[in-house]
């Protein structure tokens, strides 16, 4: 009897048109899985309904990640794999394991000798790099920057200097309700010639992605309050 596999299952970035971002073969695979590990069981079940899996909900088991314990051994959930059942890993948005606690599940699976299979789906990090026009040969995702000044300003300048030194695109995010203030801070701290990309609502109908110099951003007012956004910079 063959062991089951651990599938890294992509989650919507907000769009409910799943056919836009999930190939049919991937959708078919997701619908066949009955055991999942997720950041949030409620969010995962809502996603299953979106994907047309409502009839299977009584048969689906969802284990929640222990996000407060980075060293948690997820092998306690791997008995299903030994019984030839597949196990899906679901993030809150995008691709599990990419800037996401799902990486801990994948590592536990590798250590236990089980195969980990990534499924094709949307990643705001990769999609924003693809559309930015900035360096896609070398880029770094830095997550959230410090909230308060002067630490925030120092972090921004450090990333700007690194982008020039390494010719490396620097990628970071902010809590949505602070987006407008954060963009204003970027414009005040960064060099006027530094290229800045703002990518909002990726894959959704109101998607907005634009790259221009900081000097030009200062001339343009946009409202990205409470909209999922990602920011990229590159100083030439």
pTM for the model stands at 0.92
| Gap between the Cα atoms of 90 and 87, Å rounded | 10
Count, residues in the chain: 236
The pLDDT score that the predictor gives to residue 165 is 98
Peptide bond between residue 115 and the one before it cis (omega within 30 degrees of 0): no
Q: What is the pLDDT of residues 170-214, one digit of tens each?
A: 999 999 999 999 999 999 999 999 999 999 999 999 999 999 999
CA 112 and chain centroid, separation: 25
Residues 18-44: pLDDT tens digits?
888 899 999 999 999 999 999 999 999
Listed in order, strand segments (DSSP E) in the chain are 6-9, 35-38, 61-64, 87-90, 116-118, 139-144, 169-173, 195-200, 208-213, 229-234
The edge-to-edge listing of strands for the beta sheet with 169-173 is 139-144, 169-173, 229-234, 195-200, 208-213
> What is the distance of C-alpha 113 from the center of its chain?
26
CATH code of domain 6-118: 3.40.1010.10
DSSP 74-141: GGGGTHHHHTT--EEEE-SSB-TTSSSTHHHHHHHHHHTT--EEEPP---HHHHHHHHH-S-SSSEEE
Confidence of residue 72 (pLDDT cuts 50, 70, 90): confident
Q: What is the CATH number of domain 124-234?
A: 3.30.950.10
Q: What integer pLDDT is reported at residue 103 of this predicted model? A: 92
pLDDT given for residue 131 in this prediction: 98
Indicate the domain borders of the chain. Answer: 6-118, 124-234
Residue 67: band (very low, low, confident or very high) from pLDDT cuts 50, 70, 90: confident
């Amino acid at each position: 009897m063959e062991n089951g596999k651990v599938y890294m299952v992509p989650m919507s970035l907000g769009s409910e048109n799943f056919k836009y971002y999930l190939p049919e073969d991937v959708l078919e695979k997701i619908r066949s899985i009955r055991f999942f590990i997720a950041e949030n069981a409620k969010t995962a079940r809502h996603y299953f309904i979106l994907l047309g899996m409502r009839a299977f909900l009584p048969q689906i088991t969802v284990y929640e990640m222990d996000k407060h314990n980075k060293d948690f051994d997820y092998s306690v959930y791997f008995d299903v794999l030994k019984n030839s059942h597949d196990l899906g890993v679901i993030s809150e948005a995008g691709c599990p394991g990419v800037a996401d606690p799902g990486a801990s599940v994948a590592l536990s699976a590798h250590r236990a000798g089980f195969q980990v299979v990534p499924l094709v789906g949307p990643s705001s990090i990769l999609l924003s790099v693809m559309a930015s026009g900035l360096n896609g040969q070398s880029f770094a995702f830095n997550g959230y920057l410090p909230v308060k000044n002067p630490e925030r300003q120092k972090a921004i300048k450090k990333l700007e200097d690194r982008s020039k030194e390494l010719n490396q695109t620097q990628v970071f995010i902010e809590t949505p309700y602070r987006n407008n203030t954060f963009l204003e801070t970027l414009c005040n701290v960064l060099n006027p010639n530094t290229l800045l990309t703002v990518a909002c609502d990726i894959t959704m109908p109101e998607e907005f992605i634009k790259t221009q110099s900081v000097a030009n951003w200062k001339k343009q007012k946009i409202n990205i309050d409470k909209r999922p956004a990602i920011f990229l910079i590159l100083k030439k």
